[in-house]
Amino acid sequence: MTRDGLDELGAVVASLSSVLERERNAVSALDVTAMKAAEEEKQRLAQRINELLQRPLPPDPQRRAELLSLVRRARNDLQANAMLIASAAEAVGTLLGLEESATYDLRGRRSTSRPMRRITAF
């Protein structure tokens, strides 16, 4: 991978980071339209990252470390957003009385409890 290729990967990962930030803001605002737009952009950028990673790895160990760092950062950000979305979906479902809430007890074991209130339509 040429230096330009590594720079291009860095630019794509930076774009992905920006999209992930917009996605976190959309999740906190429960803006479904913005979340869908971010999802489409993430798919496009992930495809580009995959294309860039199909190129030969740089022979220089320092440049390989840079590449690995970029990929790790993208993976960590994606995983954090996925966990945030799952937590938000669980919280909304619990508030609506659609599912049980999963919590942890004092020993750190997962336990479930029934929703404390139900919202019903008449």
Q: Residue 62: what residue type?
A: Q
Mean pLDDT for the stretch of residues 9-19: 89
pTM of the model: 0.68
Contact indicator for 5, 63 with CB cutoff of 8 Å: no
Q: pLDDT digits over 58-72, tens only?
A: 778 888 788 788 888
Has residue 1 got a pLDDT over 50? no
Distance CA 121, CA 11 (A): 49
* Whole-number average pLDDT of the chain: 81
| Strands 101-104 vs 110-113: parallel, antiparallel or unpaired | antiparallel
Mean pLDDT for the stretch of residues 94-109: 68
Reported as a pLDDT band with limits 50, 70 and 90, residue 42 is very high
SS (H, E, C) 17-37: HHHHHHHHHHHHHCCHHHHHH
| Both structure tokens of 3 | 């230096």
Has residue 43 got a pLDDT over 90? yes
